[in-house]
Chains A and B, each alone.
Chain A
Amino acid sequence: MKRLLIIATVLSGLLFSPVAAVEPSEIMDDPAMETRARIISKNLRCLVCRNESIDESNAGIAKDLRLLVRERLEAGDSNAEVVAFVVDRYGEYVLLRPQTGGSNLLLWGAGPAMLIVALGLSGYYLRRRSRAKPAKVDALSEDEKARLAEILKD
């Protein structure tokens, strides 16, 4: 049911336009700087879009943000400084890679913590199974015996 539903997005006026975003005119002269800009852009969310990075979106605000990122890079900011600058202005909502601090520790820790719990539980289970006495095998019922005979007949 996934992408099919874009229809509703279109009807509701939120145009999910299928065009890659970065325009040639935005590209910086220094390829190294441009690579950095692209990496940063991929981690910043287009604020008016639904789950798109500014690198993919061609919404106006995404373009403004892309230019802002490049401006800050030109001004000599490090990648982290650029991101901090954008977050200061727009809040952490703009980050596609959530921060690790505070309550987000729960988010980042959830997987590893669950892995440890799961490994612990399964380790316990496996040890128990390896020490268990083999269960008594149930004798076949009359029905099952008849069926077995039928199967083995020919």
Chain B
Amino acid sequence: MIHELGHFALILAAMVAVVQAVIPLIGAQKRWPGWMAMAEPAATAQFLLTAGAFAALTHAFVTSDFSVRLVYANSHTLKPMLYKISGVWGNHEGSMLLWLLILTLFGACLAWFGGNLPPGLKARALAVQSAIAVAFFAFILFTSNPFERLDIAGVPFDGRGLNPLLQDPGLALHPPFLYLGYVGLSMAFSFAVAALIEGRVDAAWGRWVRPWTLAAWIFLTIGIALGSWWAYYELGWGGFWFWDPVENASFMPWLLAAALLHSAIVVEKRESLKSWTILLAILAFGFSLIGTFIVRSGVITSVHAFANDPERGVFILLILGVYMGGALTLFAARAGAMEAKGVFGVVSRESALVLNNVFLAVACFVVFIGTIWPLLSELFFERVLSVGPPFFNVAFTPFMMALGAILPIGAMLPWKRAAMGRVVPKLWPAAVLAVAVAGLAWSVQTEKTLLGPVGALLGAWIVVGAVIDVLSRTGRGGSIGARLSRLTRLPRADWGKLTAHAGLGVTMFAIAGLMAWEVEDIRVAQIDEPFAVGGYEITLKQVQDTQGPNYLSTMADIEISRKGRLVTVLHPEKRVYPVAGMPTTEAAIDYRALRDLYVVIGDAQSNGGHTVRTYIKPFTNWIWFGCAMMAFGGLLSLTDRRYRVAAGARKTPKKTDGVPAE
């Protein structure tokens, strides 16, 4: 019964979406307030109905209702409750429902919190948002209905879904965050299209679109980092990024969202770069759709893939074609009218942000070309080939390095007209420190590679540059106390900028450091015969078979010591899950500030030993720490006073206390 109600709620939500996509649009055109205003209750209703459908599906998973095809295929009575719930979105149909839930949630948020938007823009944005929802409601109802029952007599005794790899908290949370990011970009898209329909983009538009984009970007950052971290500890050899098509699918929107965040600043503060920002907003969501297409159509082989179905691929391609085509046509027709107002010199904050956008957008383009090249090459040149990590490492990295190199300078340039001569001297300490750190890295490393020192150079340059930027905001004069007190009064956006930029520096350095200085050792180890890896002494003490709740395990005790002192004892495992019939490797990791010790136990050898893989991975944690800093920096910016004040401006009019221009 609950199940059928859920199905019904989904269909109702789809109908509400159709109405919401049409009526407010007409209302905004004809200036009929009633028609415009209906968008808000409709958005709320759409969300509540979708939430009801989602709750019903969750109920089916929680109660293990195996008469539902989806539950039968993806769940199992033996699964812990957390994974029964995460199983709801651990499959194509359920994940599309989650996608829709989030899409309608964003629409509802716009209706709830968009109080200070002009009614016309709000109605149009809500209508566009709903139009996207219509397409996905149709997609889910016609090609991937999660509420289908099994077409057999009798209910199966148990389900088939018990993939042990997926029973992991990091992975349970990874998709929802990614969807929040992907779908969050739909808000930027809706605002962009609404503005195009209105034919008007001004500073206020930039201000409204930024928090949504920022939120989407934060979620994408967290989602990507979680997935990467999961791969690191779960896949058994410590890889954290594979340049796999599906990873690229999440990375491209991230890059464009980052570009959009920065260009929207120019719209907000200087009323320039409008048409480019609109285009970016359209493309950012476009890449989210492309990502969906890549994952669910199976046109590009990837380590991750749903049970694909060409029909679904065609459907998503249609959505992509209609929405991108429509939006871009509208853009072509209207973009000319978006006249820039701000005038600025070639050396200015504006120019630096343009350059930021150039690097981010071109980097995204490189990832895009690399991802679809196997397809294009086969179609047009009849060359069947692969594009793997070596290509991306070479073709993508330079743009990120260029971005990192200009970042501290650009971040400190004043608006309108700047002089390099006044900014560069302030950054001398950062440059000197960066060179010193790089020199240190060069002299300490055993193998003379450039990668590590260059990463250290860039990382230190960005981090110290960001700190200097904030310090310089306290002005020149005054005692240390006065400056400190000025520091505490800086708007949160400034701290957000510092944190996020420094986070980028940390991540860049960590990736370079890990890639340059990782130590790997693969050998057959005998019990109680120590061997040395990178200054550590590793001893395999014993290997024993044990039994877990739903798996059999071969567990090793491995002692790691340094200079005769025991550092840690690690217990890597090999597990076999009989129900899934699948072996997994549970690496044992000793997380440390400067390096991770990562050991994996392999097969028993005929001569009595065991394969042991030992990795010493420097700075690995810093990768995700940097990502967390970026996300946290975004959060700080998002909670900046001007957004909070803007939200409740009419109720509590307050005198602004000289918030410095960002």
Contacts and interface: CB of A to CB of B under 8 A. Distances in A.
Nearest to A20: B237
A1 B175 contact: yes
Contacts of B250: 1-2
A75 interface: no
Nearest to B235: A18
Interface in A33-52: 42-43, 45, 49-52
A102 B382 CA distance: 12
Contact of A27 (B89, B522, B585): B522
A46 to B, nearest CB: 10
A84 interface: no
A60 interface: no
A49 B304 CA distance: 11
A8 B16 CA distance: 33
A114 B362 contact: yes
B304 A5 contact: yes
Contact of B165 (A18, A111, A130): A18
Contacts, number: 230
Interface string B597-633: 0001010010000010100000000000000000000
Contact of A43 (B161, B340, B373, B390): B390
Contacts of A17: 583
A5 B307 CA distance: 8
Contact of A5 (B235, B246, B388): B246
A16 B166 contact: no
A102 B365 CA distance: 21
Interface string B219-235: 00000000100110011
B362 A50 contact: no
Among A3, A93, A115, A152, the most chain B Cβ lie within 10 Å of the Cβ of: A3
B314 interface: no
B386 A24 contact: no
A98 B306 contact: no
B350 A129 contact: yes
B395 interface: yes
Among B307, B361, B386, B394, the most chain A Cβ lie within 10 Å of the Cβ of: B386
B380 to A, nearest CB: 7
Interface of A: 1-12, 15-20, 22-25, 27, 42-43, 45, 49-53, 56, 91-99, 102-104, 107-108, 110-111, 114-115, 118-119, 122, 125-127, 129-130, 132-135, 150-154
Interface of B: 74, 89-92, 95, 161, 163, 165-166, 171, 174-175, 178-179, 227, 230-231, 234-237, 239, 242, 244-247, 249-250, 272, 292, 295, 301-308, 339-346, 350-351, 354-355, 357-358, 361-363, 365-366, 369-370, 373, 377, 380-381, 383-391, 394-396, 399, 522-524, 580, 582-585, 600, 602, 605, 611, 613, 649, 653-656
Contact of A98 (B236, B239, B391): B391
A50 B245 CA distance: 10
Contacts of A43: 388, 390
A1 B386 contact: no
A140 to B, nearest CB: 13
Contacts of A1: 95, 175, 178-179, 246, 250, 292, 295, 304
16 contacts: A1-B250, A2-B175, A2-B295, A4-B304, A11-B307, A23-B522, A27-B522, A42-B390, A49-B303, A96-B388, A97-B391, A103-B383, A122-B358, A129-B350, A132-B343, A150-B653
A68 B523 CA distance: 20
Contacts of A20: 236-237, 522, 585, 600, 602, 613
Contacts of B523: 24, 27
A6 B303 CA distance: 7
A126 B346 contact: yes
A10 B234 CA distance: 16
B386 A96 contact: yes
Contacts of B380: 103
A95 B385 contact: yes
Contact of B303 (A52, A133, A151): A52
A132 B340 CA distance: 10
B231 to A, nearest CB: 6
Contact of B524 (A10, A24, A119): A24
Nearest to A153: B653
Given A24-B524, A125-B354, A130-B345, A7 B339 contact: no
Contacts of A104: 377, 383, 385
B306 A5 contact: yes
A42 B244 CA distance: 15
A99 to B, nearest CB: 8
A3 B390 CA distance: 21
A94 B385 CA distance: 7
A103 B369 CA distance: 13
A9 B235 CA distance: 15
A107 B247 CA distance: 19
